[in-house]
Amino acid sequence: MLVDFHSHTLESDGSLEPEALALAMSSRGVGTFSVTDHDSLAAYPRVVEAAAGTVVTGIEINSTYRGSEVHVLGYGMRLDDPSLGAMIERNRHARGERVAKMVAQLNRVGIDLTIDDVRAEAAAGAPLGRPHVAKALVRNAYAASVEAAFRGLLARDRAGYVPSIHVRPQDAIAAIAGAGGIPVLAHPGRLRDYDLIDELADEGLVGLEVFYPAHGPGQVQHFRERARNLGLVMTAGSDFHDARYGAGVVGVEVDPDDIAPFLELVAG
């Protein structure tokens, strides 16, 4: 079964318009999918109108906890919920401040980059982030690729590095649940401490993104067992941003039995 519950459009840091992403899902044969833009719901309802398959409303809320980034996915929530909207705006404001600091620090070491250069890499009104700065560096010939920018000027302890400061994952979980949604921990393989999964499960986490392109077989097995032990539903996502980067394709192949509990929750 081909599904994808983690993908991005130009409304955050992806490269495709919502309609184009919906077409990519259809062309690949992905029957059920979500757009989970960072701190943005702007891709809806455009992606729904363009989709050939089933669309599960989604979002990815960036959070920080114990000095690390923790991403919480939300599904099936009310798009007009005021508390969720307020959290999104808080994160968007923090994103803007972070990008401004990154640009200022790069300027101090002789990198001729402006906020307008960064905004040019995003859709109008989309929340800015480190990928947009990286793309601006590439466009202005200060980096050979987005990956090179991440490893170089924007890496920790380098000129353009600014730590992200967002809401706590516990608050993101509460906001998603309060909006009638299903909170899921994104790409747990990136966590420094897997025990955070247990802690967040006690705080209302409902699901775990077990099936993810960067998870090796051992990680998939570990997260599968962790989800079952904690009573969490399992999800799958490509984390698609751009066909030129990462796996470069949408869709993740899963056993229908693994994803059925999540689909049942979404169906209500």
Q: Is 256 helix (H, G, I), strand (E, B) or coil?
A: helix
| Same structural domain, 51 and 98 | no
Residue 103 sits in the same domain as residue 123: yes
Asked whether residue 124 is domain-assigned, the answer is: yes
State which of 101, 118, 151 marks the end of a domain.
151
18 CB-near residues (< 8 Å, 6+ apart): 9, 10, 11, 35, 43, 44, 46, 47, 50
Q: Is residue 159 part of a domain?
A: no
pLDDT band at 244 (very low <50, low <70, confident <90, very high): confident
Distance of CA 170 to the CA centre of its chain: 17
What integer is the mean pLDDT of 83-104?
95
96/76 same-domain check: no
Q: Mean pLDDT, to the nearest integer, of 146-166?
A: 93
* Residue 50 binned pLDDT confidence (cut-offs 50, 70, 90): very high
Indicate the angle between helix axes 82-108 and 130-139, nearest 10 degrees: 40
Q: Is residue 21 in some structural domain? A: yes
pLDDT of residue 185: 98
CATH of the domain at 113: 1.10.150.650
130: in domain: yes
Q: Are residues 176 and 78 in the same domain?
A: yes
The predicted pLDDT at position 1 comes to: 95
**pLDDT tens-digit readout, 206-239:** 999 999 999 999 999 999 999 999 999 999 999 9
| The two structure tokens encoding residue 109 | 């070491």
Q: What is the pLDDT of residue 268?
A: 78
Rg (CA), the chain: 18
For residue 160, being part of any structural domain is answered with no
Residue 198 falls within a domain, yes or no?
yes
pLDDT in tens, 2-14: 999 999 999 999 9
* The domain boundary residue, chosen from 104, 119, 151: 151
Count of domains forming the chain: 2
132 and 212 belong to one structural domain: no
Residues 131 and 259 in one domain: no
| 232-249 exposure pattern, b = at least 16 Cβ within 10 A, e = fewer | bbbbbbbbbbeeeeeeee
240 and 261 both lie in a single domain? yes
Q: Are residues 68 and 176 in the same domain?
A: yes
Residue 158 lies inside a defined structural domain of this protein: no
Specify whether 56 is located in the same domain as 110. no
pLDDT tens figures, 113-133: 999 999 999 888 889 999 999
Q: What is the DSSP letter of 32?
A: E
First to last CA, the chain: 21
The last residue of a domain, from among 124, 151, 178: 151
Note whether 57 and 111 are same-domain residues. no
CA distance 77 to 175: 10
Label the pairing between strands 233-236 and 252-253: unpaired
pLDDT of residue 242: 87
pLDDT of residue 245: 67
pTM: 0.91
Torsion of CA 79, 82, 88, 89, to 10 degrees: 130
Residues 232 and 175 in one domain: yes
Characterize the bridge pairing of strands 68-75 and 58-65: antiparallel
Q: Quote the domain boundaries for residue 108.
A: 88-151
Q: What is the pLDDT of residue 150?
A: 94
Q: What is the CATH number of the domain that holds 196?
A: 3.20.20.140
Confirm whether 46 is domain-assigned: yes
Instruction: For residues 71 and 173, state if they share a domain.
Output: yes
